[in-house]
């Protein structure tokens, strides 16, 4: 008997216009690693909640069909027994934190099971070590950790319970590449040692290609594609029509006319053995405008003594498009928060548009610097989406007609027009993230800083958000993004600041940074697949930064019809 059996499952949330799931059927065997993919709103998170009985036990709606876990009907069996078998990490880890310290958070489930205190302590320490956090974090409040650290704690809390089924909804979206690798190493070990079964929701097809045995693609609540990972991810055109970007090497194979596009970079490299790589086009020059930001000798120490910035010197010119990259805890967000006055220097100075940031109120800097937080919930507070977008420009004293015009433009740009009257916290995480970006954009500041603009978004919406930032940059705005997504950096940014241990260790174009193996290793960043592949083919040449660029440099005739095959389709298109 299959460990998980889903039979004609449908779920319609109370008050929703359309069902979230429609006739979903599939089976999962013990020890399998199954990835669930699909654009935002496809039903992925709803499906996860059905697997651990949160639906229908703790959600209002109508359910048809059934879900069997180890032969138990999740809608009728004891909830405690289902919860003991199925562990879950939510897309937003903060939604599952209820205790005051990391130790208590990880221990809670074990305490509820009546485990002996000594065994609890040992299990907590093992779980924390497994996710790469030091024991000194046991006494810290989970709410004060970074986004990546919160995800690790949520995963540790699940691992401590040792469930036989692990359901993870975008569990590594806030982690750097090294952190992601650590989490997946844990899952692989549990799969090998305990035959653990893993259900992973992810937008990252390269991550899926590396770890999953099978892939299930949802679209509008239905199963659109299902099968072995290599087979599904090789269907580049079909995935694009469903809003999913296939791995870059599979897209490359599609453009080169390979009958079976490879999702494995090593297989792609073997196929391209001996291929000649043409030189790239000349890179765009940096703007020669006046400085928008000037940072000198910046240091910042937090109240607990953590020295987050160590002598940072930096100059950003008007109209630049800059990425700040580096591992979790490298100082990226701390640096950015000095640019809009949310943090004050311990030592050194920050000048923004000719004004020293420490000498003016943050409200004055808000006219010059728009900031979008990594966690959108930290900046959403109005009663409707429309009010949230109108708040900033209205408090800048703009006319009501201009406020309305800006709100309408941004509603369409971030795809939230149908939800204009919805409460922000009734939206999904991806939608809340788009709303936070939109709230920063309605102010139309000179400088726009976006911390992880695409975390938790499907690829089509990532492209829409980045296209918006592209247009703002072309209109003369200075754009700064903080991200772990190197594909985004490669295709949009013209300058990259690499941080490690509170310092800027490299400053150059994406091609220059990706070609420097010492820098990428020290900063724990992973260049895009096409950059790594082109460097493997010819280390003396600057790396390719996009799939079409590499295909052209390999001599492939690329026309619009071919590009249409890898271009993502938005919902309803």
Tell me the pLDDT tens digit for each residue of 448-492.
Answer: 999 988 877 778 778 878 888 898 899 899 999 999 999 999 999
User: Tokens for 280?
Assistant: 């790239």
Distance CA 99, CA 142 (A): 8
Distance CA 422, CA 442 (A): 18
The CA-based dihedral angle spanning residues 540, 543, 549, 553, taken in that order and rounded to the nearest 10 degrees: 10
Of the candidate CATH numbers 3.40.50.2300, 2.60.120.260, 2.60.120.640, 3.40.50.300, the domain formed by 4-233 belongs to 3.40.50.300
The CA-based dihedral angle spanning residues 61, 63, 41, 33, taken in that order and rounded to the nearest 10 degrees: 140
Distance CA 88, CA 161 (A): 11
Q: What is the mean pLDDT of residues 194-211?
A: 93
Tell me the pLDDT tens digit for each residue of 158-191.
Answer: 999 989 999 999 888 778 888 888 888 888 888 8
Tell me the pLDDT tens digit for each residue of 135-165.
Answer: 999 999 998 887 778 888 999 999 999 899 9
Predicted confidence band of residue 569 (pLDDT cuts 50, 70, 90): low
State if pTM tops 0.75.
yes
Tell me the pLDDT tens digit for each residue of 296-326.
Answer: 999 999 998 889 999 999 999 999 999 999 9
User: In angstroms, how far apart are the furthest CA atoms of the chain?
Assistant: 69
Predicted confidence band of residue 572 (pLDDT cuts 50, 70, 90): very low
Query: What per-residue confidence (pLDDT) applies to 174?
Result: 75
The residues with which 6 forms a beta bridge, in sequence order, are 26, 67
Residue 288 backbone dihedrals phi, psi, to 5 degrees: -100, 45
CATH 3.40.50.300 residue ranges of the chain are 4-233, 291-529
CATH superfamily of 291-529: P-loop containing nucleotide triphosphate hydrolases (3.40.50.300)
N-terminal to C-terminal alpha carbon distance within the chain: 40
Predicted confidence band of residue 285 (pLDDT cuts 50, 70, 90): confident
Cβ distance 34 to 199 under 8 Å?
yes
Distance CA 12, CA 56 (A): 10
Predicted confidence band of residue 570 (pLDDT cuts 50, 70, 90): low
Distance CA 103, CA 108 (A): 9
- Which residue reads 């319970």 in tokens? 161
Distance CA 165, CA 228 (A): 20
Distance CA 66, CA 51 (A): 10
Looking at 232-236, 291-295, 302-306, which range is the least confident one? 302-306
Query: What per-residue confidence (pLDDT) applies to 388?
Result: 97
Predicted confidence band of residue 573 (pLDDT cuts 50, 70, 90): very low
């Amino acid at each position: 008997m299959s460990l998980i059996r889903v039979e004609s499952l449908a779920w319609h949330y109370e008050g929703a216009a359309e069902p979230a799931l429609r006739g979903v059927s599939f089976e999962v065997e013990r020890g399998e690693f199954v990835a669930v993919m699909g654009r935002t709103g496809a039903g992925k998170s709803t499906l996860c909640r059905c697997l651990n009985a949160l639906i229908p036990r703790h959600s209002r709606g109508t359910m048809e069909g059934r879900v069997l876990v180890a032969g138990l009907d999740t809608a009728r069996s004891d909830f405690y027994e289902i919860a003991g078998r199925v562990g879950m990490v939510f897309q937003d880890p903060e939604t599952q934190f209820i205790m005051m310290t990391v130790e208590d958070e990880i221990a809670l489930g074990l305490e509820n099971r009546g485990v002996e205190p000594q065994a609890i302590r040992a299990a907590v320490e093992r779980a924390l070590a497994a996710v790469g956090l030091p024991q000194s974090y046991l006494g810290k409040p989970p709410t004060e950790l970074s986004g990546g650290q919160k995800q690790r704690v949520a995963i540790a809390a699940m691992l401590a319970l040792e469930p036989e089924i692990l359901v993870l909804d975008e569990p590594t979206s806030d982690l750097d590449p090294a952190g992601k690798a650590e989490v997946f190493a844990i899952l692989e070990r549990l799969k090998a040692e305990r035959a653990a079964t893993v259900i992973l929701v992810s937008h990252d097809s390269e991550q899926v290609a590396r770890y999953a045995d099978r892939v299930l693609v949802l679209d509008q609540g239905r199963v659109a594609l299902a099968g072995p990972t290599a087979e599904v991810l090789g269907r580049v055109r079909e995935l694009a029509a469903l809003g999913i970007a296939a791995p870059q090497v599979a897209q490359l194979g599609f453009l080169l006319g390979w009958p079976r596009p490879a999702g494995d970079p090593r297989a792609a490299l073997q196929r391209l053995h001996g291929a000649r790589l043409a030189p790239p086009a000349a890179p765009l020059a940096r703007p020669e405008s006046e400085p928008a930001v000037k940072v000198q000798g910046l240091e910042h120490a937090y109240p607990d003594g953590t020295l987050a910035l160590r002598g940072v010197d930096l100059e950003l010119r008007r109209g630049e498009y800059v990425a700040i990259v580096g591992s979790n805890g490298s100082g990226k967000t701390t640096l950015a928060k000095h640019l809009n006055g949310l943090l004050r220097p311990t030592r050194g100075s920050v000048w923004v548009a000719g004004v020293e940031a420490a000498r003016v109120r943050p409200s004055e800097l808000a006219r010059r610097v728009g900031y979008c937080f990594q966690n959108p919930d930290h900046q959403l507070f109005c009663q409707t989406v429309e009010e949230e977008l109108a708040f900033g420009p209205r408090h800048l004293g703009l006319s009501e007609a201009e406020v309305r015009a800006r709100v309408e433009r941004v509603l369409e740009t971030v795809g939230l027009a149908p939800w204009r009257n919805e409460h922000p916290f009734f939206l999904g995480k991806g939608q809340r993230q788009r709303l936070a970006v939109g709230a920063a954009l309605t102010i139309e500041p000179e400088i726009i800083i976006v911390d992880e603009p695409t975390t938790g978004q499907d690829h089509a919406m990532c492209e829409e958000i980045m296209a918006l930032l592209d247009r703002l940059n072309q209109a003369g705005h200075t754009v700064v993004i903080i991200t772990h997504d190197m594909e985004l950096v490669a295709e949009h940014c013209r300058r990259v600041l690499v941080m490690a241990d509170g310092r800027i260790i490299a400053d150059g174009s994406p091609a220059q940074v990706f070609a420097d193996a010492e820098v990428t290793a020290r900063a724990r960043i992973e260049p895009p697949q096409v950059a790594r592949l082109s460097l493997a083919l010819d280390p003396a040449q600057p790396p390719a930064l996009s799939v079409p660029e590499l295909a052209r440099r390999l001599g492939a005739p690329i026309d619009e019809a071919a590009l249409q095959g890898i271009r993502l389709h938005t919902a309803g298109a």
